[in-house]
Structure 1
Amino acid sequence: MGKLRPREGTWLASSHTGRPCMPQSSLLLLLGVLLTCGLEGSAQGPGEWTLWGSWTHCSSSCGRGVSVRSRYCIRFPGEELCWGDSREYRLCQLSDCPPRAVPFRDLQCALYNGRPILGSQKTYQWVPFYGAPNQCDLNCLAEGHTFYHSFGRVLDGTPCSPGMEGLCVAGRCLSAGCDGLLGSDAREDHCGHCGGANDSCLFVQRVFRDTGAFAGYWNVTVIPEGARHLRVTHQSRNHLALMGIDGRYVLNGNWAVSPPGTYEVAGTRMVYTRAVSRPEETLHAAGPTSHDLHLQVFLQEPNPGIEFEFWLPRERYGPFQVQAQALGWSLRQPQPREVETLPPGPPTVPTATPPLTPTPSPDPCDPCPDTRGRAHRLLHYCGSDFVFRALVLGRRHQAQETCYEVRVQLVYKNRSPLRTLEYVWAPGLCPCPPLAPHREYLLAARRVVSPDGTQDRLLLPHSGYARPWSPAEDSRMRLAARHCPV
Structure 2
Amino acid sequence: MIPAGATHIRVTDNSKNYLALQNGRSQFVINGNWKISIPGEYNVAGTKLVYRRSADTWESFEVPGPTREDLHLMVLATDRNPGIEYEYWLPPDQYALYHGRRSPLRQAHHTANYLPWDRPATTARTTTTTTTTPPGLLLSPPDHTGRQRQYCQKDFVFRARVLGKLYRGEETRYDVQIIHTYRNSFRLEHREFLWAPNLCDCPHLEEGKQYIMMVRRHINYEHTLNRILLEEDSYVVPYRPREDELLRPLETLCRNRGPKRPAELRG
Q: TM-score range by the shorter chain?
A: 0.3 to 0.5
Q: TM-score, normalised by structure 1?
A: 0.26
| RCO higher in structure (CA 8 A, sep ≥6) | 2
Relative to its length, the structure with more strand (as a share) is 2
